[in-house]
């Protein structure tokens, strides 16, 4: 079962094989077949819409969550759970998401 703040390996035609962060709120995850996710990438641009992650977050190497590339992804394409981000890190994700959609 996917949960908000989980990082999963996924595989899709649009993203290829890459880790994604589940963003959808817990209240709807049981009913959504396509929760909202943000891809992780090792291409770090230091944008306000990126959140840096590293070994302390349970990731195998430094990367960023790219909140400019949020999209729904079928749960069936989420293959293996890698980590769950701490609430403090998810607060950073929320701030970057607000910046991505100009809601700050």
Q: What is the mean pLDDT of each run of 10 residues along the chain (104 residues)?
A: 96 87 93 94 96 97 97 95 98 97 85
Q: What's the pLDDT at 104?
A: 65
Residue-number span of the structural domain to which 68 is assigned: 6-100
CB-facing half-sphere around the CA of 82: CA atoms within 13 A: 22
Q: Is 66 part of a structural domain of the chain?
A: yes
Q: What's the pLDDT at 12?
A: 83
Which pTM does this prediction carry? Answer: 0.94
CB-facing half-sphere around the CA of 23: CA atoms within 13 A: 24
Domain count of the fold of the chain = 1
Q: Is 1 part of a structural domain of the chain?
A: no
CATH value at residue 66: 2.30.30.110
45 near 4, Cβ under 8 Å? no
7 near 82, Cβ under 8 Å? yes
**Which one, of 28, 6, 4, 14, lies nearest residue 73 by Cα?**
14
Q: Is 63 part of a structural domain of the chain?
A: yes
Strand partners, 50: 66
């Amino acid at each position: 079962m996917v949960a908000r703040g989980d990082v999963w390996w996924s595989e899709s035609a649009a993203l290829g094989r890459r880790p994604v962060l589940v963003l959808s709120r817990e209240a709807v995850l049981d009913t959504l077949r396509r929760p909202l996710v943000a891809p992780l990438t090792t291409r770090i641009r230091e944008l306000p819409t990126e959140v840096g992650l590293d070994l302390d977050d349970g990731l195998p190497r430094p990367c960023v969550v790219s909140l400019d590339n949020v999209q729904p992804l079928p749960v069936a394409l989420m293959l293996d759970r890698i980590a769950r981000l701490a609430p403090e890190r998810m607060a950073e994700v929320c701030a970057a998401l607000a910046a991505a959609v100009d809601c700050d």
